[in-house]
Amino acid sequence: MRHDQGIRSNRRLMCIPPARRAKVEIPMCFSITNFVAKTVSKFFIMILPLCLVGMAPADAQTKKQLRPEHANADVSRAGVKDASFHSAALNRDMRYRIILPAGYAESTRRFPTLYLLHGLYGDYENWETRTNLDLYADKLEWIIAMPDAANSWYTNSATVPGDKFEDYITHDLIDEIDARYRTIRSRHSRAIAGLSMGGYGALKFALNNPDSFFFAGSLSGALNAPLDLEDTTPPFREGLEKAFGPPGDPSRSRNDLFTLLNSSDPVRLPYLYIECGSSDSFLQTNRAFAAKLATRKVAYEAHESPGEHSWEFWDAALSRMLHALERVSKSKG
């Protein structure tokens, strides 16, 4: 998959009650042939640097060129902060970035919280530096928390006992944000979403913790991660087996979204939003999951938009998902 796909009009796949969408991330690499010649004309000496601008390898979803205004992002600016805390589940310090709503410092109000999960090979900075999230956040009155989770698949590892990344997010991180910031500590004021690996994680947390969130969103979600993803994407095999164990391990079914959905009470589940690009390799698994949601009569919306596994797609889809989040939030009073 490529990272240069633009966004055009979107097309809804299917939906029940309100509307949703999904996304994901996949690495892309390319190389540049370097040449050095002792006798190079002044002309080529002058233009060669210009030709190389913007051609740094894009070896993962995190390597997309930054927007100019973020090239020297100052996270100390008002409303955007980095912090760390000690996770009991992981027994280590973990970092996160947070965006506070306008007027937070001057008020005593409490605010709803949105957790945004990064994708494979990503980190806690990605959402704020690779998209226009800060601009979208200006229009929202939400606290937005973006945690670091390495390449964990947001799972309590089947092979590394100390890597309890699901417990870290659903217990430690939420407790940290609720304790340090003026959140509304209620399921009805808490949402979670992510892209690719993070989309899978967000939906899994929603299915496993329906009383913790009222909304969960997935953009290009790697929704088949515990099933057969290593068969279609061999480079992911080592990380997938570290998280879920080898094929046939009981952890595979415990973390399978389709299995979890079968055993869930549709009435208790959060509103689910799914969106995926029409040229994304995860499109079929997203379609299958949306069909399963329809069969189970879960409140959700699923959208398919022109695009691939790219930051251009995720930026546009993020804006659409945030509008859905606001709509669903208001509908629940």
Strand 271-277 to strand 190-195: parallel, antiparallel, or no bridges (unpaired)? unpaired
Per-residue pLDDT at 56 exceeds 70: no
Query: Rg of the chain's alpha carbons, rounded to an integer?
Result: 20
The model's confidence at residue 46, banded by pLDDT at 50, 70 and 90, is very low
Domain 11-331 has CATH 3.40.50.720: no
pLDDT at position 333 is: 67
**CA-CA distances (angstroms) from residue 289 to 11, 48, 67, 273?**
17, 49, 33, 11
pLDDT at 31: 35
Higher pLDDT, 3 or 232: 232
Residues near 256 by beta carbon (within 8 Å), at least 6 away in sequence: 226, 227
Query: CA-CA distance, 117 to 147, in Å (whole number)?
Result: 7
pLDDT on residue 16: 42
Residue 20 pLDDT greater than 90, yes or no: no
What is the structure's pLDDT at 332?
A: 81
The tens digit of pLDDT for each residue in 130-171 reads 999 999 999 999 999 999 999 999 999 999 999 999 999 999
What tokens were used for 142? 């939400």
For all residues of the chain together, what is the average pLDDT?
A: 83
Q: Tens of pLDDT along 79-132?
A: 999 999 999 999 999 999 999 999 999 999 999 999 999 999 999 999 999 999
User: So where are the chain's domains?
Assistant: 11-331
